[in-house]
Structure 1
Amino acid sequence: MAALAVAGVASAQSSVTLFGVVDASISGYSSTSRDLTLPAPLNQGSVKISQRALANSGYNSSRLGFRGTEDLGGGLAASFWLEAPVSNDDGAKGVADFTRRSTVSLSGGFGEVRLGRDYTPTFWNDTVFDPFGTNGVGSNLINTANGYNVLTEGAKDTGGFGGNMNYARASNSIGYFLPPNLGGFYGQVMYGFGEKTKYSPGLSTPDVENSQRQGRYVGGRFGYANGPLDVALAYGSSTVGDDYYLGTTNKVNTLNLGASYDFGPVKLFGEISQAKSKTDFENRTFSAANTDTKLSGYLIGVTVPVGAGLIRASYSSVKYNENQILAPFELADPDPKANKIALGYVHNLSKRTALYATIARVSNKNDAALKVGGPGFLSNGIFTPKTSTGYDFGIRHAF
């Protein structure tokens, strides 16, 4: 009877697909820090921390998923998508969760309404307009600095820039996508619930931080893709903290613009981005200090088809505006900044299988500590992060 019930459910679907990617690479990482102490006799030189590993997701993120669509008639369709991260290098992570994507949707001539966990609109520009697709050591610095971690296939558990845990994906979300027949125009909006408990009257609210608004996300992305041109603008606001009785709400607001143009022999990519970590006050005094910080960045990239292969290259740069609070006549420290250059080649053995190689280098200045992956910089109050280099040599198979 159980088998018949499962068969009955399956037969009601117009289509059900098992899909996935298995991507493995031999990767190396090296992070160098230097002692800037003067005079020279006290200088301890530099120290390097390196690692060589069998990694995953150097070209495409390893995953296993199930998706299906049922034709409801009258132009309506119901769909589901469940996608789990896979760590095929050690087998430790499989179909234990569907944190990459878990959605159910209803679509038709009006567009698509999608419910569940999904990519945020602001993340799409970071990955679509990156020749390396925000994967491996070549991933652009906008992505790295905002908090993406390929080792966990999503935003860092502790949050990215400003504590943003909704950088790449948002849970408990409602999304709407425009229909595809708008002459090249496309767009989406998303609202993610914080799912906090509310109290009435308000004075019954417990005096606990992050109990009322944290976790909420609202954003949208609109663009135009026709022929060789693709351009999109996105904005999102993620609530990263709150204090009900102090009357404060902490947010990370992100605005980015990305574009690509395919000339045929070469395809160009570009993006500019700014994320602002800010605090909203219910009752702000005139003399209160402005503690908002910013993260600005840009990316330029290129892909060049060569027979069955593809050359990829990019240059990205980010700068932090820490908005330092200074005493009278005190000089501000230079704001941290970093730049990155990446170069890679993909050789397609078939439509589903490819070999790839990527090398990359990050240069940090003024205490920035961004890296290509692997172990972090030595941090003991003496050495300052400087450069991070890395490589990926791997194979990707999709099914």
Structure 2
Amino acid sequence: MKKTIPMIAALCAFSSVAHAQSSVTLYGLLDTGLAFNSNSKGASQYSLASGNLQGDRWGFRGVEDLGGGLSAIFRLEGGFAINNGTLGQGGDLFGRKAYVGLASPYGTVTLGRQYDTLGDYVGSFESANAEELVTATEWGSIYGAHPGDMDNLDNSDRINNSIKYASQNYGGFTFGGIYSLGGKAGDFTEDQLYGLGAGYHNGTLSLGVAYEKAKDPNYSVFGTNPNANTSTSTSALNMSSPVYSGFASAGAWQVISAGAAYRIGNATIGGVYSNVAFQNLGSEAGAGLNPKHLTGTASFNIGELNFAYLVTPALQLGVAYTYTRGDSVGSISGATYNQVNLGANYFLSKRTDLYLVGIYEHASGEDSTGKPAVAAIANLSNSSTDVQTAVVVGIRHRF
């Protein structure tokens, strides 16, 4: 027995050395709280909601050193609702991220289900996006996203069948691109998506820009979860928000977006601009996709200004204003959405914090369905009027 124990210890030590440059990490995030919606299709609503500040998740990430500066990497990340244990992203086991690839001194190439360049290079400047906490301006919760998250800066929609390249960091400058194969027999370009992005971070100043275009967005962008409709039946609508659901017949979706943030002491000032275009309306022939028989292009201009201040090392406050304007197209005059986000975070530790977020939205004009625009705070049931308020208080823990 005395000889066996040292032998086992030696084998464990040898195993540790042999795999010193390789690792697999289990990680996750739990977020839940009380939510209030002032008008959920005509009635106020109180609920215990999960994934408020950030979506609940668990996952594995790993790296294997292959020598010569080359490494194999992978990531499997699934979303769920902590309140009832159900899977997120329409029932995908690893619906948030699922990819494998190679990392080298020349950059990283990954293949699978991934975030797009909009989220990678511009999303961190939006107050609602708290994926990587890059600029300290991201505190606004999933409800603080731009109307319907139509520019995908909050990563509501992942990209399937994608190949992505991300450069190394060259003095604060990074760049990359993504391409998604549609996977349709007989048509190489159907449902395809491609995008390019670049960013710059130097400690106090952060900049980002991205361009993305997708064919058949009702299916390629807004229909990438298992519960999405892929047929041309009367239930083929995946673009559910009234902000843009009337444009589901678009043949293409194009987004040009840029963001910036500047830190002054404990304060961070940020801004985002996005131009979103639903092009070639009427191209998708599915029943119910084009009830107003629209043609041409429906465009939106979105601008956000946000401000975050670290009152103490443990307390952060934030405020943001977003203006969204839809241009007229066909018989639709277009709608305007004004939104204010307010938030406070109190950090009990590096991994656990308490939060309070409030969202107010006012809509005017005529929305994509040709009806008087109603307030439609992201990730909540639409209001029955032009005004909607949401308040959420909760706790977030990372592991």
Q: Give the alignment's TM-score, normalised by structure 1.
A: 0.75
Higher relative contact order (CA 8 A, sep 6+): 1
Query: Which letter maps to 2:394?
Result: G
Query: Which letter maps to 1:351?
Result: K
Partner of 1:187: 175
Residues 321 and 65 (structure 1 numbering): CA distance in 2 closer, same or farther, change over 3 Å? same
Query: Which letter maps to 2:326?
Result: Y
Report deviation, 1:97.
1.1
CA displacement, residues 18-52 of structure 1 (integer Å, 9 cap, x when unaligned): 0000000100112288xxxxxxxxxxxxxx42211
Partner of 2:326: 320
Q: Report if aligned partners of 1:140, 1:316 keep a CA contact under 8 Å in 2.
A: no
Residues 138 and 266 (structure 1 numbering): CA distance in 2 closer, same or farther, change over 3 Å? farther
Partner of 1:54: 48
Kindly indicate which of the two structures has a greater share of residues assigned to strand: 1
Residues 87 and 138 (structure 1 numbering): CA distance in 2 closer, same or farther, change over 3 Å? closer
Q: Report if aligned partners of 2:38, 2:390 keep a CA contact under 8 Å in 1.
A: yes
Q: Report if aligned partners of 2:173, 2:200 keep a CA contact under 8 Å in 1.
A: yes
Task: Kindly tell me the number of residue pairs found equivalent between the two proteins.
Answer: 323
Which structure 1 residue ranges, 5 or more long, are not aligned?
Answer: 1-7, 34-47, 156-167, 199-210, 243-247, 283-288, 326-332, 379-384
Q: Report if aligned partners of 2:99, 2:111 keep a CA contact under 8 Å in 1.
A: yes
Report deviation, 1:127.
2.8
Residues 127 and 56 (structure 1 numbering): CA distance in 2 closer, same or farther, change over 3 Å? farther
**Is 1:389–2:384 an aligned residue pair?**
no
Partner of 1:294: 299
Q: Report if aligned partners of 2:201, 2:207 keep a CA contact under 8 Å in 1.
A: yes
CA displacement, residues 291-325 of structure 1 (integer Å, 9 cap, x when unaligned): 21101100000110011111011100111113225
Residues 398 and 217 (structure 1 numbering): CA distance in 2 closer, same or farther, change over 3 Å? same
What SS does the corresponding residue of 1:131 show, helix, strand or coil?
coil
Q: Tell me, in whole angstroms, the C-alpha distance in 1 between the residues paired with 2:363 and 2:282.
A: 34
Q: Report if aligned partners of 1:298, 1:317 keep a CA contact under 8 Å in 2.
A: yes
Over aligned residue pairs, what C-alpha RMSD do you find? 2.7
Partner of 2:273: 272
Which structure 2 residue ranges, 5 or more long, are not aligned?
Answer: 1-14, 131-139, 219-248, 284-293, 366-371
Instruction: Give runs of aligned pairs for residues 119-130 of structure 1, distance below 5 A.
Output: 119-125=115-121, 127-130=123-126
Partner of 1:108: 104
Partner of 2:30: 22
What SS does the corresponding residue of 1:98 show, helix, strand or coil?
coil
Partner of 1:260: 261
Report deviation, 1:364.
0.5
**Is 1:239–2:245 an aligned residue pair?**
no
Q: Report if aligned partners of 1:140, 1:315 keep a CA contact under 8 Å in 2.
A: no
Q: Tell me, in whole angstroms, the C-alpha distance in 1 between the residues paired with 2:362 and 2:64.
A: 50
**Percent identity of paired positions between Structure 1 and Structure 2:** 27
Q: Tell me, in whole angstroms, the C-alpha distance in 2 between the residues paired with 1:31 and 1:126.
A: 31
Query: Which letter maps to 1:304?
Result: Y
Residues 339 and 252 (structure 1 numbering): CA distance in 2 closer, same or farther, change over 3 Å? same
Query: Which letter maps to 1:343?
Result: L
Report deviation, 1:350.
0.3
Query: Which letter maps to 1:190?
Result: I
CA displacement, residues 76-110 of structure 1 (integer Å, 9 cap, x when unaligned): 11110000001001112279511100011101111
What SS does the corresponding residue of 2:386 show, helix, strand or coil?
strand
Report deviation, 1:60.
1.8
Q: Report if aligned partners of 1:138, 1:343 keep a CA contact under 8 Å in 2.
A: no
Q: Report if aligned partners of 1:144, 1:370 keep a CA contact under 8 Å in 2.
A: no
Q: Report if aligned partners of 2:121, 2:199 keep a CA contact under 8 Å in 1.
A: no
Partner of 2:344: 345
CA displacement, residues 126-164 of structure 1 (integer Å, 9 cap, x when unaligned): 53002332663652325634478x9xxx64xxxxxxxxx
Q: Give the alignment's TM-score, normalised by structure 2.
A: 0.75
Q: Report if aligned partners of 2:281, 2:296 keep a CA contact under 8 Å in 1.
A: no
What SS does the corresponding residue of 1:292 show, helix, strand or coil?
strand
Partner of 1:66: 60
Query: Which letter maps to 2:261?
Result: S
Q: Report if aligned partners of 2:357, 2:391 keep a CA contact under 8 Å in 1.
A: yes
Q: Tell me, in whole angstroms, the C-alpha distance in 2 between the residues paired with 1:253 and 1:193.
A: 17
What SS does the corresponding residue of 2:123 show, helix, strand or coil?
helix
